[in-house]
């Protein structure tokens, strides 16, 4: 009987503490106020999140100025709303859920700094469903996996089996890394050269240490575009066993800023319809592909 009472009292204490913690979370979420479109316009500023060290999409140049495809699109957002654009440039967190929490609806632990819109969000309905404080919307590009290779080192690449005995670079802990690590029953393990960032992996390719680099199609095309001293080709060999070889890219806004999402979605549609979206991508050597939705 004492044991039952003890367990019940512990359950009550746990439920009480949980309720307190939950109320704290609710208060904390409520404290980070959303900025619907009218408030953004009235403030004269739109804050746009973009990933750091993520060429050709977004990065900071030597003078600390934001550059890249997503940055140019973000500037078009500001022009359409008639406001100044402030870029919030940060590195990726452990996963997309963490990125949405830190950049869209909760903020970082120290400054609680948030963006009004987050660029380059993989458009996934499951991710959208489990992140109730963020909304994924307005896909504007179709991303795929691809390989860039040095034609002086490889006459052609029809299969990743070529890299059982030839080195290949990839960014650490990415979909490409996981694929190469498991391809051909692990036979590529000794050939993989991992960069901490994609830029590190790109340098392995540009210095000639490796003759091929795996990444997204846009990254591969960017490398071929920038590496003018290397005769490069971009291909998409079969990737058996990989979960997904392509995915649409969109934006994310806070759940109670949907009207801002609609306004920015209209900008993205207009950019695609006028051909400006294609022109933006072409400036970085990337072919724009419309998003493929399920």
Domains and CATH numbers, the chain: 32-142+247-282 (3.40.190.10), 144-235 (3.40.190.10)
What is the model's pLDDT at position 22? 40
Reported as a single tens digit per residue, the pLDDT across 155-185 is 999 999 999 999 999 999 999 999 999 999 9
One-character DSSP codes across 130-159: H-TTEEEEEEEEEEEEEEEEETTT-S--SS
Higher-pLDDT residue of 80 and 110 is 80
* pTM, rounded to two decimals: 0.85
> Which phi and psi angles does 27 have, rounded to 5°?
-65, -40
CA atoms within 13 A on the CB side of 75: 11
pLDDT band at 33 (very low <50, low <70, confident <90, very high): low
């Amino acid at each position: 009987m004492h044991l039952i009472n003890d367990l019940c009292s512990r359950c009550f204490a746990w439920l009480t503490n949980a309720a307190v913690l939950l109320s704290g979370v609710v208060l904390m979420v409520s404290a980070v106020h959303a900025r619907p479109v009218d408030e953004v316009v009235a403030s004269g500023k739109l804050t746009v999140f973009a990933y750091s060290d993520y060429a050709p999409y977004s990065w900071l140049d030597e003078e600390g100025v934001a550059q890249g495809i997503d940055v140019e699109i973000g500037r078009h957002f500001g022009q359409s709303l008639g406001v100044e654009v402030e870029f919030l440039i940060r590195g990726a967190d452990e996963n997309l859920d963490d990125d949405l929490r830190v950049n869209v609806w909760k903020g970082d632990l120290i400054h609680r700094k948030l963006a009004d819109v987050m660029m380059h969000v993989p458009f996934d309905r499951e991710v959208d469903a489990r992140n109730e404080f963020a909304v994924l919307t307005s896909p504007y590009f179709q991303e795929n996996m691809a390989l860039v290779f040095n034609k002086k080192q490889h006459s052609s690449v029809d299969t990743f089996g070529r890299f059982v005995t030839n080195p290949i670079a990839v960014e650490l802990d990415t979909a490409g890394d996981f694929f190469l690590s498991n391809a051909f029953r692990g036979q590529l393990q000794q050939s993989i050269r991992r960069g901490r960032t994609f830029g590190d992996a790109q340098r392995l390719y540009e210095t000639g240490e490796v003759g091929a680099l795996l990444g997204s199609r846009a990254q591969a095309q960017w490398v071929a575009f920038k590496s003018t001293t290397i005769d490069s080709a971009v291909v998409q060999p079969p990737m058996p066993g990989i979960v997904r070889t392509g995915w649409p890219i969109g934006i994310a806004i806070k759940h109670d800023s949907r009207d801002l999402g609609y306004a920015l979605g209209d900008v993205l549609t207009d950019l695609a319809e006028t051909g400006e979206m294609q022109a933006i991508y072409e400036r970085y050597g990337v072919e724009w592909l419309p998003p493929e939705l399920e």
